[in-house]
Amino acid sequence: MSETVTLARHGQVAVITIDNPPVNALSHAVRKGIGDCLAEADGDDAIEALVIYCAGRTFIAGADIREFGKPPQSPSLREVLAQLDEFRKPTVAAIHGTALGGGLETALCCHYRVAASSAKLGLPEVRLGLLPGSGGTQRLPRLIGAEHALDMMTGGKPVDPATAMAWGLVDACTDDELLKTAIEFADLKITEKNLPRISERKVANVEAGFFAAYRKKIARRTRGFEAPERIVQCVEAAVSVSFADGMRKERELFRLCRDSSQSAAMRHLFFAERQVARVPDVPKETEVREISKIAVIGAGTMGAGIALSCLDAGLDVAMLDKDRQGLERGRATIEKSLAAAVGKGRISDTQMQARLSRLDLIDDFAALADADLVIEAVFETMAIKEEVFSALDRVCRDGAILASNTSTLDIDRIASATSRPEDVIGLHFFSPANIMKLLEIVRGARTSAEVIASSMRFAKQLSKIGVLVGNCFGFVGNRMLYGYGRENQFLLLEGAAPEYIDQVLTDWGMAMGPNAVGDLAGLDVGYKVRQERTDLPDDPRYYRVADMLAEQGRYGQKTGRGIYLYDNGSRKPIADPEVGEMIRREAERLGVEQREIGGAEIIERCIYALVLEGAKILEEGFALRASDIDVVWANGYGFPRYRGGPMFYADTMGVEKVYDAICGFAERFGPQYWSPSELLARLARDGGTFAELDKE
């Protein structure tokens, strides 16, 4: 018997315990161990029933993702689960923590499932570009019906035991000691004659047209993404063919997913999102400061969103603005958001009240004396930020962390307004701050390791992904956005219609097109930033279309007109022929020749501009890893997860090909924007990849 999987007897009930930290993934050793224990339990007449249980913090969290892409080792999970499915004595899965992927598939091969009331159950394979490949697509619909099963598998979101009980996914749920409850449950089933085997059931009837309607329902959110459609095909098979044929279909489609570039990209992000927490000069043992009392300065769009995010995480928040009106507006924004969450059933009314009770509106800096962390989100003007930080320096206690949410300003200059630059850091949230997962953590020249480690942990407290970046203009995300936006702007002048560019890029997978994003964020915002910058290229074409629209008061959704038109209060963009004509005239004035532009050119110019800037950022040391850049773009800018982020995408295309295209653009459009970075040239020459670079 292996050490990771053991068999112990409790009277007539045997318990198989899996102990494979940290998450009991189904590695080769675990699969073999389960198979061996099943064989032993089968052959032992003194054993009348079996419980499958896990040591540590969780039930099996799935297949071992690190094994994908490596040669398969026997026994496969399918083989082991077939053995479990056919087991002749009652079997019970005792579930705590998270039963995910292959973990839930294991539980579905047991006759019964008993869950701790704090557990979560899910088939999240879709988040890795996969489908459940060990019978999940065939067993889950047989147990809970096609629709719930499809929701769980195409959305990937786990459910709690209360929902699972209501759907028949678990048979019992307990607050008591789980293993004891499961053993007692198994004991009671020893005399059961008809053991329920899911593989022998039929899927409950679905109405004609059900699958067509389901495909339509998920079409928008799964655009260009292969796994969800394949999951639907598997469930169609579960409904229409035998269990064995359904399993064959699942196998075939699972292999296609597993070997696809989409799954490779999503697995890359899975590990990249965990890798970001590792900072070479901030070791794991670095002390972190306790953060429970937050103060937010500035109750505008971002301040209110940040406060909400902290309240959602159970923290106390004091909010301050320069005037009472601003403060009340901020509170109203928070209340409105919470009420909407109650309306959608995401939180209860009691939870809303509890959050509001932790919010304190203050009008005096002196009240910030006991804050653990202050986050400044006032206007984007250096003089105002300096004034705020110097006031904070006077009132905040020793050891308080002083953070700025600036999106463009120099953190070191802000820090120098205080006598404690080691406590100053950038915490760059993304709008809407309570929703977006990304937090750029901007390290100043003197920020201490302790403050960095505490900020990384703070990101986790907020359920966000904190990425440490360096202090350059726009940090990582917005600096790259400039190149992407610039190409969009040039393409407009060269004759591509805004709606065409947006369509091409959303078909490619971006959550929104750049022109719709501009209208959503407000064209006045970028305009103001460009007006204040002194380092912009001397080029009359540079962001000319955006500037022209802003100068005409066409700010976007907020004014009902931007690059698109918006009907009374609607967010749906409508193409405006007048804008096309304005751009045409401007192009003529600037001597830019308009022409027919194909989708491939739009994608290459916009996406390769990201790759090029990303390579420069890496070269200059403003990001720790290429994969950190991918995490920023996947979580802050709607870059399609199934393409893995700009740097992984460059690897997928081949760095040499990307480099050649960039050199081609440099020849065609001039070297001003397209001169390739040294790093890119080196990788192209040596046949290297960004992924290998990260390993160096």
Residues at the interface with ligand NAI (CB under 6 A): 297-303, 320-322, 326, 377-380, 384, 388, 405-407, 429, 431
Number of residues assigned to the chain: 696
Q: CA-CA distance, 255 to 232, in Å (whole number)?
A: 16
For residue 134, the partner it binds in ligand 3HC, ligand NAI, none, with Cβ less than 5 to 8 A by kind, is ligand 3HC
Q: Which long-range contacts (CB under 8 A, 24 or more apart) does 575-582 make?
A: 575/497, 575/498, 575/499, 579/498, 579/549, 580/497, 582/548
Q: CA-CA distance, 524 to 546, in Å (whole number)?
A: 9
Helix (H/G/I), strand (E/B), else coil: 163:
helix
DSSP annotation of 3 reads S
Residues in 260-289 at the binding interface with ligand 3HC, rule: CB under 6 A: 274
- What's the half-sphere exposure (Cβ side, CA atoms, 13 Å) at 467? 29
Say if CB 112 and CB 195 are below 8 A apart: no
Per the DSSP assignment, residues forming a β-bridge with 121 are: 99, 159
CA distances from 331 to 32, 350, 601, 671 (A): 57, 18, 46, 50
For residue 101, the partner it binds in ligand NAI, ligand 3HC, none, with Cβ less than 5 to 8 A by kind, is ligand 3HC
At closest approach, how far in Å is the CB of 271 from ligand 3HC?
6
Helix (H/G/I), strand (E/B), else coil: 8:
strand
- What's the half-sphere exposure (Cβ side, CA atoms, 13 Å) at 452? 24
**Residue 336 CB coordination number (10 Å):** 11
Candidate list 48, 105, 376, 613, residue with the active-site label: 105
Q: CA-CA distance, 580 to 548, in Å (whole number)?
A: 13
At closest approach, how far in Å is the CB of 334 from ligand NAI?
13
Q: Does 23 bind ligand 3HC (CB under 6 A)?
A: yes
Helix (H/G/I), strand (E/B), else coil: 589:
helix
Residues in 152-191 at the binding interface with ligand 3HC, rule: CB under 6 A: none
For residue 98, the partner it binds in ligand NAI, ligand 3HC, none, with Cβ less than 5 to 8 A by kind, is ligand 3HC
Q: Compute the CA torsion angle 522, 526, 527, 532 (nearest 10 deg).
A: 150
Interface region with ligand 3HC, contact rule CB under 6 A, candidates 17-25, 232-240, 517-525, 571-579:
17-25
For residue 136, the partner it binds in ligand NAI, ligand 3HC, none, with Cβ less than 5 to 8 A by kind, is ligand 3HC
Q: Which is nearer to ligand 3HC, 139 or 385 (CB)?
A: 139
Burial pattern 112-124, b for ≥16 Cβ within 10 A else e, equals bbbbbeebbbbbb
Q: CA-CA distance, 419 to 399, in Å (whole number)?
A: 12
Q: Which is nearer to ligand 3HC, 121 or 684 (CB)?
A: 121
For residue 22, the partner it binds in ligand 3HC, ligand NAI, none, with Cβ less than 5 to 8 A by kind, is ligand 3HC
Q: Which is nearer to ligand NAI, 136 or 298 (CB)?
A: 298
CA distances from 196 to 55, 87, 110, 189, 199 (A): 26, 11, 9, 11, 9
For residue 25, the partner it binds in ligand NAI, ligand 3HC, none, with Cβ less than 5 to 8 A by kind, is ligand 3HC
At closest approach, how far in Å is the CB of 363 from ligand NAI?
10
Candidate list 125, 226, 499, 586, residue with the active-site label: 125
Helix (H/G/I), strand (E/B), else coil: 127:
helix
For residue 326, the partner it binds in ligand 3HC, ligand NAI, none, with Cβ less than 5 to 8 A by kind, is ligand NAI
Residue count at the site for ligand 3HC (CB under 6 A)?
Answer: 24
Q: Residue written as tokens 């389960």?
A: 34
At closest approach, how far in Å is the CB of 331 from ligand NAI?
11
For residue 377, the partner it binds in ligand 3HC, ligand NAI, none, with Cβ less than 5 to 8 A by kind, is ligand NAI
At closest approach, how far in Å is the CB of 63 from ligand 3HC?
4
DSSP annotation of 553 reads T
Strands (E), 436-521: 438-442, 465-469
Biggest CA-to-CA distance, the chain: 91
Q: Which is nearer to ligand 3HC, 62 or 477 (CB)?
A: 62
Strands (E), 131-252: 172-174
**Residue 663 CB coordination number (10 Å):** 17
Residues in 94-153 at the binding interface with ligand 3HC, rule: CB under 6 A: 98, 100-102, 105, 124-125, 128, 130, 132-134, 136
Q: Which is nearer to ligand NAI, 273 or 321 (CB)?
A: 321
At closest approach, how far in Å is the CB of 540 from ligand 3HC?
49
Q: Which is nearer to ligand NAI, 294 or 661 (CB)?
A: 294
Q: Which is nearer to ligand 3HC, 270 or 508 (CB)?
A: 270
CA 269 to mean position of chain CA atoms: 9
Closest of 671, 676, 666, 694 to residue 612, by C-alpha: 676
Q: Which is nearer to ligand 3HC, 133 or 509 (CB)?
A: 133
For residue 651, the partner it binds in ligand NAI, ligand 3HC, none, with Cβ less than 5 to 8 A by kind, is none
CA distances from 597 to 498, 546, 579, 604, 653 (A): 12, 20, 18, 12, 22
For residue 431, the partner it binds in ligand 3HC, ligand NAI, none, with Cβ less than 5 to 8 A by kind, is ligand NAI
Q: Which long-range contacts (CB under 8 A, 24 or more apart) does 364-367 make?
A: 364/320, 365/320, 365/391, 365/392, 365/394, 365/395, 366/395, 367/318, 367/320
Q: Is 105 a catalytic residue?
A: yes
**Residue 401 CB coordination number (10 Å):** 26
**Residue 673 CB coordination number (10 Å):** 20
Residues in 565-594 at the binding interface with ligand 3HC, rule: CB under 6 A: none
Q: Which is nearer to ligand NAI, 36 or 386 (CB)?
A: 386
Q: Which is nearer to ligand NAI, 407 or 489 (CB)?
A: 407
At closest approach, how far in Å is the CB of 367 from ligand NAI?
13
For residue 415, the partner it binds in ligand NAI, ligand 3HC, none, with Cβ less than 5 to 8 A by kind, is none
Interface region with ligand 3HC, contact rule CB under 6 A, candidates 22-30, 172-180, 203-211, 506-514:
22-30
Q: Is 620 a catalytic residue?
A: no
Helix (H/G/I), strand (E/B), else coil: 360:
strand
At closest approach, how far in Å is the CB of 104 from ligand NAI?
38
Q: Which is nearer to ligand 3HC, 101 or 645 (CB)?
A: 101
Closest of 63, 118, 59 to residue 92, by C-alpha: 59
At closest approach, how far in Å is the CB of 304 from ligand NAI?
8
For residue 322, the partner it binds in ligand NAI, ligand 3HC, none, with Cβ less than 5 to 8 A by kind, is ligand NAI
Q: Which is nearer to ligand 3HC, 33 or 62 (CB)?
A: 62
Q: Angle, nearest 10°, between helix axes 626-636 and 477-493?
A: 70
At closest approach, how far in Å is the CB of 405 from ligand NAI?
4
Residues in 47-76 at the binding interface with ligand 3HC, rule: CB under 6 A: 61-66
Say if CB 129 and CB 265 are below 8 A apart: yes
At closest approach, how far in Å is the CB of 390 from ligand NAI?
11
Residues with active-site annotation? 105, 125
Give contact residues for ligand 3HC (rule: CB under 6 A): 22-23, 25, 61-66, 77, 98, 100-102, 105, 124-125, 128, 130, 132-134, 136, 274
